[in-house]
Amino acid sequence: MIGKKARDITTPDPECIQETETLLVAARRMRDLDVGALPICGADGMLKGMVTDRDIVVRCIAEGGDVVAMTAGSLAEGKPVTIGADDSAEEAMSTMAKYQVRRLPVIDGHKLVGIISEQNLAQELKDRKVGETVESVTEP
């Protein structure tokens, strides 16, 4: 684990959902890609947030929202939690634990270059700290 950078443990080339695309499009893209979350990107190519399958269910469907009318951008809140591509793997784990996020966008300059998930950590970093990070992210 020592010496690994965020870019070394990321799932590369993440597919974005545009902030103007509907939640129906997001759900279908998640299904087709077999993922539980997508980065939300703006027309400027900048990361606006993340949308998860749970967000779609809890923040749209359960509230009586319309997945055909509601956009991915409507679920983006505040500045997304990210990590720099050249930051250490330890910093990525620390950031995930601190902000209790299961997926961490990896940024190189202003460009989204990947996503680090708990699965990436478990596969790449055979270490007790991974278990501690997962445990802290899943705390209620």
pLDDT digits (tens, 9 = 90+) for 67-120: 999 999 999 988 899 999 999 998 999 999 999 999 999 999 889 999 999 888
Do 93 and 4 touch, CB atoms closer than 8 A? no
Indicate if the pLDDT at residue 140 is higher than 60: no
Amino acid code (one letter) for 13 = D
Indicate if the pLDDT at residue 15 is higher than 60: yes
Would you state the pLDDT for residue 132? 60
Rg (CA), the chain: 15
Pairing mode, strands 37-41 and 17-18: parallel
Position with higher pLDDT, 122 vs 9 = 9
Indicate if the pLDDT at residue 16 is higher than 60: yes
pTM of the predicted model as reported, rounded to 2 decimal places: 0.83
What is the C-alpha to C-alpha distance for residues 96 and 73, in angstroms, rounded to an integer? 22
Closest Cα partner for 53 from 38, 32, 65, 70? 38
30-70 residue pLDDT tens: 999 999 999 999 998 889 999 999 999 999 999 999 999 99
What is the C-alpha to C-alpha distance for residues 79 and 47, in angstroms, rounded to an integer? 9
Q: Which domains does the chain have, with CATH numbers?
A: 6-137 (3.10.580.10)
What is the C-alpha to C-alpha distance for residues 126 and 123, in angstroms, rounded to an integer? 7
Do 92 and 116 touch, CB atoms closer than 8 A? yes
Would you state the pLDDT for residue 124? 75
